[in-house]
Structure 1
Amino acid sequence: MSNPGRRIEEIDKRLEQLPKGTLTYKTINGKKQPYIQRTIEGKSVSYYVRMSEREQILLEFEERSRLLEEKKRLTAYRESLAAILKDNPYLGENVGVGYQYFTEIKENNLFYIDKTYFITEWLHRSAKISLITRPRRFGKTLLLSTVRTFLDPHYAEHPEYFEDLKVWQDPLCRMKFGQIPVISVSFGSCKGIDYAHSMRGMLNSLKAMYSSQDDLLTSERLEEDDRNEFKEIREALFRGEETVVENSIPILCRLVYKHYGVKPVILLDEYDTPLLEAYVGGYWEEMIASCRGLFHNTFKENEWFERAIITGVTKISRNSLFSDLNNIETYTITDEEYSDCFGFTEKEVEDALKCQNMDCFQEVKAMYDGFIFGNHRDIYNPWSICNFLDRGKLISYWINTSSNKIIGDIIRRHPVRSKFEIERLMAGEVVHKKINENITFQYMDGDENSLWSLLLAVGYIKADNVEKYEEYTECDVSVTNQEVMSMFRNEILGMFDNGNLYYNEFIRALLAHNTEEMEDILLDITYSSMSYFDTGTSSKRNPENFFHGLVLGLIVSLKDRYRIISNRESGRGRYDIALYPIRPEENAFIMEFKVFDERKEKDLAQTAANALRQIEEKQYEADMIAAGIPGERICKLGFAFEGKEVMVVKEKHRQDCTAVEG
């Protein structure tokens, strides 16, 4: 099905090409003969259709009749959508993919879902600096462009851009229209294989920012020294001089203020792109130093701006970047503020499909629904929806390759620790997590939280039942939707491939009951891949849970041969891990994990022995025996940990238990 408006345009063009008039028949010599009747200068004129033209003319008039009927039906359909179009007047327009600037959409009369109420909400808030994080392709750039077009005096002569949109309904907003200068810059192009390459992208972005304010060069409100200063910095940016970067924005703010007599608003889009690229590229220290200086001078030492909006994908920790800013409010995807301003709501998607004459809402919902922002469920990714509206194919459009670089990097450095939970997500399960939404790059090499923080920030997982605390967010996470699930299967799981050597060796040692080899593998992982941050003995870090998850990640590949059960009650307690064999001839396993307690135990061997004793005393094998597994085929393993040291022991009288090779 095609866009009704576009189809009506196509019909009108074709009707212009077809013969005009009315096809009638006259009876001559007892036979009906076709005539075309037209009105020329007020007079009705009939033309006889010759035999040589008759077949073609009849086909064309048949086509004309069919098109007129189709146009009549589509026009009636559009009129039935009047209530929807009153609330969102551009849902029926042609869909354009890849347009990021509000003026482009208005000038080309393109499909647009009205999000201008963001401006109303933001203007009525008091935050000096608003940092808003959302996944890529969720309309951040377009929304900032809309803010700029609404506020900046450069567009004051175009109230028609907004008169039928929600922002125009608010009296305060109408007073602000075209009255506040805007300094806008995007760091989306600050990418590169090294620091120099990335900085060239930042210089180009700042150069474009200065070029957009060229009218300052002829401003009569600026003194000659001011105009020269503007020209010098702009030329320095053109020459690629990094020394002017840190002060480029605050200086421009001062000059813009002197020109307009009004402090400007700063819009900074994709603020975190250079930092994400720097982490992956290995030049983090250089880039964070440059960005910290620029942000400090722009938002801390700058008295010449009114307010600012910063957007990005991640919430970089205050200690990394914003340590001295006390005037910044952050709104992540788990916060209620602005929760429906980015992305499309379910009603907006349903209305858009109706206005585009596409009767497939349930199929679209199954594929693309699932994002949760704050208190709004059923949020859709605009990139996927617009591509579907344009192409009509239910396929994956949204692949966040930029973020995949950093996710892949974390997984490659720690190939085993989270695989079990990733597998659970891919099975459609929900995983309960405590996530620190602050991305702390200094600790990415040792903080398991980094992977989950990024998966949430980039939109690969969604957070439900959210409880926010001062230092972390507690929530239930699951894969966002069917589109993302396909990406998980094709890309994220493949990133664990570097850990296959560990998986295979550990499974082989487990099935052979070779505890010494299991110890060696775990030691290799902890010393080569993990830091003390992971394995520390602090009760806050709960190291038993860490090693529990590590071993689950190593054995998850056995899921075709075993039912892997974690933290299940049996007997008089709750065991850590149990492996129930699918084939009756294979052994079952019960595993218990303990961390060395120097107050109660003299060494790691005693800790491991206590783990085995707990299996016996709590009768963890009760469920297995009830399931018909003979006691002699149940292998019990005690795991003991102290820092990075590991010991694995098995029940002595079960050493003759038949081993099964993996």
Structure 2
Amino acid sequence: MMKLDSICMKLTAIGESIKNLDKVTNKELLAQYPEIPWRYVMGVRDIIVHHYFDVDADEIYRICLEDIPRSGNVKMEKMMEQQQLKKCPIGIQTFEEIINKGYLYIDKTEYVYRMAHGASKYCFLSRPRRFGKSLLTSTLHSYFAGKKDLFRGLAIEKLETEWTEYPVLHFDMSLAKHVDKDTLESMLSFQLSGYEQIYGKPEEAVKLNDRMTSLIMRANEQTGRQVVVLIDEYDAPLLDVMHEETDLPVLRNVMRNFYSPLKACDPYLRFVFLTGITKFSQLSIFSELNNILNISMLKPYAAICGITQEEMQEQMTAYIERLAVSQEMSKEETLQKLKEKYDGYHFTWPSPDIYNPFSLLNAFANDELNNYWFGSGTPTYLIEMLRKFHVLPSQLGGSMQAMAADFDAPTEKMEGIVPLLYQSGYFTIKDYNKLAELYTLDIPNGEIRIGLMRSLLPGYLAHNTLKGNTTIARMYLAIAGGDMDGALRLLQEFLSTVTYCDNTNYEGHYQQLFYIIFSLFGMYVDVEVRTPKGRVDVVMRVAGKLYVIELKLGRSAEAAMAQINLKQYPERFSLSGLQVVKVGINFDVEKHTLGDWVIEE
């Protein structure tokens, strides 16, 4: 181990001798100084290249001398202090607060101007939860309220010349989740009353729609300007009762009455904007409002929410590099991990690559690559709908083709799960065939894939306990190390200790269990894979090997292996360039666990 003084002197030499450090790759730089721990070298590189403060040899030496004994690297807190990185606005959805308190803001104001000056005064946007809809709505509020000072340095500052102040009525329907009819009406009344204190309320107005009409007309009359109406998460009161025959019509009727004045008040309105997760049929909610422009799949608005690859690399470079140091990875490796975990969204085609903003900002705020979006809450209605439509895990794991009407469709009338999966953010567009008008849909990224599989696991393992999670993790390590026998022993032991599910008496149950477990590993896995002579139960690719797995229930592992050989399954994969490993597995009907297995390489 080099002495501290030697390390500091060597790092100082880096700072003095490599002035074009930004042109040297990480690999080249680390190769020049193999005796120094890589994180020290990268820390000094960041200081020099990005000019986090005025650099000289004495300053570098001082920082190294102070920080290496304490933390083993150039302290990230010091780098953040010197860079003056803006804080990530986790959970903050108010544009004015983000700007006034100096939080990081990814500029979306060009889209605000485009909407405000578009052909339609009525716009609707559907995006998944925690994707920036509320912040966008708040930005529109500040813009139409004429708060020019908040937009200094942003794109809209150069586009807008008038900055007219309009009266803005902003309704947040997220307050009305999990409510009955009386509570919903009370919440709507409460939101109306806030504006009625400003513009007044006629004594005879009792019904919600009458009060909304009066409010719009009074705001117009008192200000002399048309009114802007913003409705965030319009569908929140309806999501939990989407397929309930009793509650849905009742709550839907309340919402329809509340929105009904928007058509009659057209002359008094400057702009109306609604956001939501799902798309309810227009007739069911906006029976009179037949001219809403749905911008959800329009190319000019493809990146209106979320963070694009370009935005991340241009506006968040310092955060990426800080995360790289924290994770002990190169910048290039960090970018690849971020892409695999949080990227992959497209809401039209062609579209820029869009990252989940909630997960990305949390990753930068915490310097950890965790499952933030899925971990923030999987809607109960989604799991219920997956069960209602009998969706198998393997059906979620592969891509599918569909026309726009099949997934960008009203959810309360859907006959399959695809519209809900797409609109909720669990599926996204991956390709488009213009000739056939067919979109290719798939899971966006690794975070969603693993999250979905984890949410489905309890249906195949009666107890998703700590032991279950530990067993799966240990299986991953075994398989990644080429020890399939060890992995199957772990699964056998675990299944023998848990309460079995009621539906374990058919091979398909175990096939889906294998699919979930292997998907949680982040490995390629598929089921019912076609070959010239039949279908392979499970195919998995990992660590240069391709496993061909046949499952039997209440028979023998030898019978499973005999089928693999008889059907010549491995020949289907002979050109893959991978070592094909045959695995025959038999499940014990009485013990509800693996009975025996045979592995041939």
SS in 1 for 2:372: coil
Q: Give the letter for the 1:432 counterpart.
A: Q
C-alpha distance 352-364 of structure 1, shift in aligned 2 (>3 A): farther
Q: Give the letter for the 2:352 counterpart.
A: R
Paired residues of 1:411 and 1:495 also in contact (CA < 8 A): no
Which residue in the other structure is 1:174 paired with? 161
Paired residues of 1:280 and 1:409 also in contact (CA < 8 A): no
Distance, in Å, in 2 between the alignment partners of 1:439 and 1:368 is 27
Residue 351, structure 1, aligned to residue 314, structure 2: yes
Distance, in Å, in 1 between the alignment partners of 2:377 and 2:409 is 19
SS in 2 for 1:337: helix
Which residue in the other structure is 1:152 paired with? 145
Distance, in Å, in 1 between the alignment partners of 2:537 and 2:99 is 61
Distance, in Å, in 2 between the alignment partners of 1:354 and 1:92 is 11
Q: How many residues align?
A: 441
Which residue in the other structure is 2:299 paired with? 336
Report deviation, 1:307: 2.1
Which residue in the other structure is 2:274 paired with? 310
Which residue in the other structure is 1:638 paired with? none
Residues 264-314 of structure 1 deviation map (CA, whole Å, 9 limit, x = unaligned): 121111001011133377611110111122222223564321221111111
Residue 437, structure 1, aligned to residue 408, structure 2: yes
C-alpha distance 228-501 of structure 1, shift in aligned 2 (>3 A): closer
- Map 1:39-50 → 2, pairs under 5 A: none
Residues 327-349 of structure 1 deviation map (CA, whole Å, 9 limit, x = unaligned): 111122x4323111111111222
- Map 1:45-444 → 2, pairs under 5 A: 92-153=85-146, 155=147, 159-170=148-159, 173-175=160-162, 177-211=163-197, 214=198, 216=199, 227=200, 229=202, 243-279=206-242, 283-300=247-264, 302-332=266-296, 334-356=297-319, 358=322, 359=324, 360-374=334-348, 375-399=350-374, 404-414=379-389, 416-422=390-396, 425=397, 429-434=398-403, 435-441=406-412, 443=413
Which residue in the other structure is 1:478 paired with? 442
Distance, in Å, in 2 between the alignment partners of 1:553 and 1:419 is 10
Q: Calculate the TM-score normalised by the size of structure 1.
A: 0.57
Distance, in Å, in 1 between the alignment partners of 2:366 and 2:568 is 57
Distance, in Å, in 2 between the alignment partners of 1:383 and 1:200 is 31
Paired residues of 1:315 and 1:438 also in contact (CA < 8 A): yes
Report deviation, 1:626: 5.5
Paired residues of 1:369 and 1:378 also in contact (CA < 8 A): yes
C-alpha distance 262-373 of structure 1, shift in aligned 2 (>3 A): same
C-alpha distance 401-95 of structure 1, shift in aligned 2 (>3 A): closer
Which residue in the other structure is 1:648 paired with? none
Report deviation, 1:244: 2.5
Flag the structure with larger Rg: 1
Paired residues of 1:253 and 1:304 also in contact (CA < 8 A): yes
Distance, in Å, in 2 between the alignment partners of 1:473 and 1:187 is 35
Unaligned runs of 5+ in 1: 13-58, 79-90, 217-226, 234-242, 508-551, 590-620, 630-658
Residues 451-485 of structure 1 deviation map (CA, whole Å, 9 limit, x = unaligned): 2211111111222223589xx98422222112212
Paired residues of 2:125 and 2:274 also in contact (CA < 8 A): yes
Paired residues of 1:132 and 1:311 also in contact (CA < 8 A): yes
SS in 1 for 2:455: helix
Report deviation, 1:124: 3.1
Q: Give the letter for the 1:456 counterpart.
A: Y
Paired residues of 2:511 and 2:537 also in contact (CA < 8 A): no
Q: Give the letter for the 2:424 counterpart.
A: V
Residues 356-399 of structure 1 deviation map (CA, whole Å, 9 limit, x = unaligned): 45244333223211111323232112211222222211111113
Distance, in Å, in 1 between the alignment partners of 2:179 and 2:214 is 30
Paired residues of 1:586 and 1:660 also in contact (CA < 8 A): no
Paired residues of 1:250 and 1:304 also in contact (CA < 8 A): no
Residues 156-198 of structure 1 deviation map (CA, whole Å, 9 limit, x = unaligned): xxx322131100111xx221x1333222111011122533334
Distance, in Å, in 2 between the alignment partners of 1:366 and 1:195 is 43
SS in 2 for 1:376: coil
Deviates more, 1:347-356 or 1:103-112: 347-356
Distance, in Å, in 1 between the alignment partners of 2:455 and 2:506 is 24
C-alpha distance 578-95 of structure 1, shift in aligned 2 (>3 A): closer
Report deviation, 1:210: 3.9
Report deviation, 1:76: 13
Report deviation, 1:77: 8.9
Distance, in Å, in 2 between the alignment partners of 1:269 and 1:191 is 13
Paired residues of 1:181 and 1:260 also in contact (CA < 8 A): yes
C-alpha distance 196-418 of structure 1, shift in aligned 2 (>3 A): farther
Q: Give the letter for the 1:182 counterpart.
A: V
Distance, in Å, in 1 between the alignment partners of 2:339 and 2:106 is 18
Distance, in Å, in 1 between the alignment partners of 2:570 and 2:258 is 68
Paired residues of 2:169 and 2:229 also in contact (CA < 8 A): yes
Q: Give the letter for the 1:142 counterpart.
A: L
Distance, in Å, in 1 between the alignment partners of 2:187 and 2:461 is 33
- RMSD over aligned Cα atoms: 4.5
Q: Give the letter for the 1:322 counterpart.
A: F
C-alpha distance 192-484 of structure 1, shift in aligned 2 (>3 A): same
Distance, in Å, in 2 between the alignment partners of 1:402 and 1:316 is 22
C-alpha distance 174-482 of structure 1, shift in aligned 2 (>3 A): same
Unaligned runs of 5+ in 2: 1-42, 55-61, 325-333, 463-499, 518-524, 539-548, 552-556, 572-586, 591-601
Paired residues of 1:187 and 1:205 also in contact (CA < 8 A): no
Report deviation, 1:584: 4.2
SS in 1 for 2:165: coil
Report deviation, 1:98: 1.7
Q: Give the letter for the 1:480 counterpart.
A: P
Distance, in Å, in 2 between the alignment partners of 1:267 and 1:210 is 16
How many percent identity over aligned positions? 20
Paired residues of 1:368 and 1:481 also in contact (CA < 8 A): yes
Residues 401-451 of structure 1 deviation map (CA, whole Å, 9 limit, x = unaligned): 66621112212333x3444312xx1xxx4233453322342x45xx12xx2
SS in 1 for 2:175: coil
